[in-house]
Structure 1
Amino acid sequence: MGLAEKRLAESIKVEKIPAFEAKLKDKAGYDIKVDVDWNTFTAFNQYPLERLDIVFDDLESFVKKICADDMGKEALKEKLSTIHLTNTENNDEVAMELKDNTLYLTHQLVQASFSSQTDSQIADYVEKLL
């Protein structure tokens, strides 16, 4: 990781994640913490970090879909308090799992191709578990 990646990661930590968590709180009605496994993002060039904006947009949309009414907000609050993001260079490792009130999402943001769960895929998966 070079200086550019370090600066971008710090900017995301200090500016983007707090703003993103505020958006999630606005949609869900409660705090949802976003936890990023930084080592899996900064081990590469800037692309995985830059692509976090796309992931954040999908996550915000997923929360909005689930929390469209009070029933959804209450159900999500009982099952989700943290979203944990991991990056991988292996497309076969792309996955999502909801356990212990944490939604674990593994994305493949490293290569020229991009593999991530869409807002609808995440919403469908989580909704079945609520």
Structure 2
Amino acid sequence: MGLAEKRTAESIKTEKLPAFEAKLKDKAGYDIKVDINWDTFTAYDQYPLSRLDIVFDDLESFVKKICSDDMGKEALQDKMSTIQLTNSDNNDDVKMELKDKTLALTVQLVQGSFSSQTDSQIANYVEALL
């Protein structure tokens, strides 16, 4: 990881991430911690870090869909308190799992391709488990 990646990651940690978690709290009615495996995002270059905005938008939209009413908010709060993000350079690693109150998402934000779960895919997966 070079200086540019370190600066970008630090900016996300101190500015974008707190604002994103505040948006999630606003939509869900409770705190949702976002845990980013920084080593998997900064191991390449700045490009995967710049794509985190897309992932954040999909996650915010997913939470909004589930938490459209009190029933959804309560159900999500019972099952999820953390979102864990991991990046991979292998498209076959892209997956999602809700376990132990953690929604673990592995995305592929490196190279020329881009693969992550859409808001609807995440909402459909999680809603089925609530």
Length-normalised TM-score, structure 2: 0.99
Once the two structures are TM-superposed, the CA of residue 27 in structure 1 deviates from its matched residue by 0.1
The CA distance in 2 between the partners of 1:104 and 1:124, in whole Å, is 15
What residue ranges of structure 1 are gaps of 5+ in the alignment? none
Question: 1:120 corresponds to which residue?
Answer: 120
Question: 1:11 corresponds to which residue?
Answer: 11
1:1-130 alignment, distance < 5 Å: 1-130=1-130
The alignment covers a number of residue pairs equal to 130
The CA distance in 2 between the partners of 1:10 and 1:16, in whole Å, is 10
Once the two structures are TM-superposed, the CA of residue 111 in structure 1 deviates from its matched residue by 1.1
Q: What are the superposed Cα offsets for residues 13-59 of structure 1, whole Å, 9 maximum, x if unpaired?
A: 00111000000000000000000000000101111000000000000
Once the two structures are TM-superposed, the CA of residue 119 in structure 1 deviates from its matched residue by 0.1
Once the two structures are TM-superposed, the CA of residue 116 in structure 1 deviates from its matched residue by 0.3
SS in 2 for 1:98: strand
The CA distance in 2 between the partners of 1:51 and 1:127, in whole Å, is 25
The CA distance in 2 between the partners of 1:23 and 1:31, in whole Å, is 10
Q: Which amino acid aligns with 1:27?
A: K
SS in 2 for 1:24: helix
Coordinate RMSD, CA, aligned: 0.3
Length-normalised TM-score, structure 1: 0.99
What residue ranges of structure 2 are gaps of 5+ in the alignment? none
The CA distance in 2 between the partners of 1:47 and 1:18, in whole Å, is 21
Q: Which amino acid aligns with 2:83?
A: I
SS in 2 for 1:116: coil
